[in-house]
Structure 1
Amino acid sequence: MSWRRWMVFISLLAFVGGVMFAAGNMLFNDVAGMVGERPVQPEEKAIASPLVGRDTIADIVEKASPAVVKIDTQVKVAGNQWNPFFDDPFFREFFGRPLVPSQPRVQHGMGSGFLISDDGYILTNEHVIQGADEISVTLIGYEEPFPAKVIGADHDLDLAVIKINPPKKMPYLKLGDSGSTKVGEWVIAIGNPYGLDHTVTAGVVSAKGRPITIDDRYYGNLLQTDASINPGNSGGPLLNLQGEVIGVNTAVNAQAQGIGFAIPTSTIKPVLDELIETGKIAHPWMGVHLQEVSPQLAKYSGLEDTDGALVYAVVPSSPADRAGLKTGDIILKIDERKIKNTADVIYALRKKKVGDTITVHLVRQGDRMTLKLKLAERPERLQ
């Protein structure tokens, strides 16, 4: 092949290759435009909220940990004068009373908490310090624990504030907004599970507004998380990715793994100042004893289902008594909140204040009516 023909051949190849490249490039751009057009918007949104990188959680923990404390309690329990076996008449008949009474003993408890001010105020659960004769607080960087005193405590909300006298201004955690927290957002729990100081677990918010009952305590609005919460974690902070507290770790479902609960800051913030200033929380009170509605009673009252709360007793001279509530009434609504069960009444009242007037919608022997009721403060003997 002559040199001239060779150059023509090369030129043709270059031309064809250029056309194919241009066409391929146009096709690539079209496809890339179709595929890449949509991810732009999520990327822009992601800038507004923190992303979980390799060091995100580690950085938050490093900043927050100095404000998280370990709480140890001691409760002096009077020893039983006699062995329980000797309370049985059979044993007393044959063995008589023991000669030596048992000695008083000390029960030890443990939990977590976190500083909410630079002068030593600490937020925790009420059940962590309940009945304690002595409370000591251990902080990072201090060899000796600090003695603490109870500033305020509330059994119903399971919240308590204790205080230490630190030698200097202390790091503390800011209370964030649990209301704006979304299901699926990352959270971090710090505490002392099983006595293991400053253990960190992470997970997501699994649900909001969970109601649970533990013993005589009704929690009506908990955050649910799969971040591990264990005995000793109680009272510790549940943090968002801004390092703000959105809840106080409280309970764990013993029957299921990966289900923990925290009291949200939406419950804490409205009562925190009152708890610190007065040592207690004034709870609104109606003055009724309630139970669930049975299918038979619902049918007798002309109700389609068992939603509601049955008044089985009215406290004399109480707000309910003065308003005209009677035994046998079924409460269907408080203001605009529908009542499905007795727990709903408790939660509805937690949204109110002493002195508020509520409208009670009820059915009495098949007749529907409404009553106005002015809430009073719950008497001390009923606390």
Structure 2
Amino acid sequence: MANNTNNFTADFPILDQKVNGERLAYLDNAATAQKPRQVVESLVHFYEHDNANVHRGVHSLAERATEEYEEARQKVQHFINAADNKEIIFTKGCTDGLNLVAATYGEENIQAGDEIVISIMEHHSNLIPWQQLAIKKHAVLKYIELTDDGTLDMADAQKKITDKTKIVAVAHASNVLGTVNPLKELAKLAHEHGAVIVGDGAQSVPHMPVDVQDLDVDFYAFSGHKMMGPTGIGVLYGKAALLRQMPPYQYGGEMISAVHRERTEFADIPFKFEAGTQNIAGAIALGTAVDYLEKIGMENIAAQEQALVDYVLPKLEAIPYVTVYGPQDPQHHTGVIAFNMDNLHPHDVATALDAEGVAVRAGHHCAQPLMEALGVSATSRASFYFYNTKQDADQLINAIKATKEFFNGGTI
């Protein structure tokens, strides 16, 4: 593995290619991160050498598969500093984990008239489950609004979170605004009112050190594919005492202790929430991704991304026909940068940037209430990861200028 966070191309062969005749500048990392060779090789190795189901067989392949699967759980536990590996549940992804909490803890604990508090910047995955739960239970869904600079309005949070609040669900980092929310402060506020807090870590776990015990979150979900693991694997962290009180999410094999004609005894956590054959290879490869990130160091990754934001954000903000959303201070902005160009639809912008080899996302980014709050229907979004470089940033800036020139018929 390369030692310099600016020189990882050898580990990511997909980045070493041309798109539309131009070098690829992959800036869609908020949607999914690219996978290093080590992660891909771990998938291949499992299927070529150890492929078997886990926890069920006593033959050698099954025992090896089980050992690797549970070792991956321990790696994730240490990565986010959970108190116990039983607090780590493998899911299909962040969305699956958030839905699990809503469908189990939410179903059991929300009654008519109770309040659920989320923020206006939530991804649909951390909005719709709570919205639908509130509708079903005749509860009240409340939104924490934004300040003028695109950060969470903590004064509004203090008003919205009351003794009627039972659940607070907030993204640790926004997938649009590049805002990092004060999750620890929100957890303290929620707990003071007797509520639990659910953190959406999809945009934080891959990019910064996360300590769930220090944050004191009750639940915390994140995706594997955004942190260089495979798709179809994710993690839900939950405090053990809460998980043990919750009913199972799905029923079937592996999540049982004993089944009788008239009743079933469920397994202890985490297995109670892992019905059926899990994404075994995906979990093992996620463990490999954790190894990769820890070898670099999450502090180093955060510093590398901050250096890129320090470099590119002022350049974007200096372009008169570009509007950047979220905090204007690079020190308060993650590598997720949403922007619009005057009089151009974000889809046209993304298509034009692709012609210059720059991959960005365009649309509402599964955050339509936030788009409404911003007064736009969509944005373009460039999102950086540690393997991106200043050359990628310059390519973005130059491509934006070329796009403006193209749509202006050759004049800027």
State whether TM-score is above 0.5.
no
Q: TM-score when scaled to structure 2?
A: 0.27
More helix by share: 2
Q: Normalized per residue, which structure has more strand?
A: 1
More relative contact order in 1 or in 2 (CA 8 Å, sep 6+)? 2
